[in-house]
Amino acid sequence: MEKRVRVLVAKPGLDGHDRGAKVVARGLRDAGFEVIYTGLRQTPEQIVGAAVDEDVNVVALSLLSGAHNHLFPRIVELLKEKGLSEALVIGGGVIPDSDIPSLKAAGVSEVFTPGTPISSIVEFINANVK
């Protein structure tokens, strides 16, 4: 039995910068995870559809546009609806500290803001993945 952690790295919403998401994807690859990257400008429905088909353990959302308060909770909700409630949802990008408590209350497990070393993300996933 060789369980391998599968992570969906997704960019919801309309911003067009995915350098950060790619750096994180590469870092997670080097940590031994299987990283599925779906590209830019994905709707919550597309992200959750991919998460279902790929049976991922982690959904990592990168967002720079400011729409996180709307999109992150919507994705958590859809994941539950589709039967993936045990998937760990984490977020990153330009997210004000003051928004983090409400995102966590909505079911986002952790939010990593700019400057976070990849190793912290890897540690968090390893400690919390189901």
Partner 1 sequence: MNIAEELLGGSRLALSRAITAIENEYDNAVEIMQKIYAHTGKAYVIGITGPPGAGKSTLTDKIAKAYRAMGKTIGIIAIDPTSPFSGGAILGDRIRMSELTLDEGIFIRSMGTRGSLGGLSRKTADAIKLMDAAGKDIILVETVGVGQSEVDIVKTADTTIVVMVPGLGDDIQAIKAGILEIGDVFAINKADREGVDKVCREIEMMLDLNQEQVLWRPPVRKVIASQNEGVNELLAAIDQHKNWLSESGELSVRRNERIKTELLAILNEQIGRYILTKVTDSGKFNELLHNVEARRVDPYSAVENILKDILR
Which residues of the shown chain bind partner 1 in the complex (CB under 8 A)?
1-4, 6, 25-26, 28-39, 42, 45-46, 49-50, 52-55, 82-84
CA distance 82 to 130: 17
Helices 19-30, 118-128: axis angle to 10 degrees equals: 60
Smallest distance, partner 1 to C-beta of residue 104, A:
26
Give backbone dihedrals phi and psi of 30, rounded to 5 degrees, phi first.
-65, -20
Q: State which residue, 20 or 103, has the beta carbon closest to partner 1.
A: 20
Q: State which residue, 33 or 72, has the beta carbon closest to partner 1.
A: 33
Q: Report helix, strand or coil for 53.
A: helix
Closest to 28 measured CA to CA, from 129, 123, 130, 128? 123
Smallest distance, partner 1 to C-beta of residue 69, A:
24
Smallest distance, partner 1 to C-beta of residue 10, A:
10
Q: State which residue, 3 or 19, has the beta carbon closest to partner 1.
A: 3
Q: State which residue, 51 or 111, has the beta carbon closest to partner 1.
A: 51
CA distance 107 to 20: 23
Q: Report helix, strand or coil for 76.
A: helix
Smallest distance, partner 1 to C-beta of residue 25, A:
6
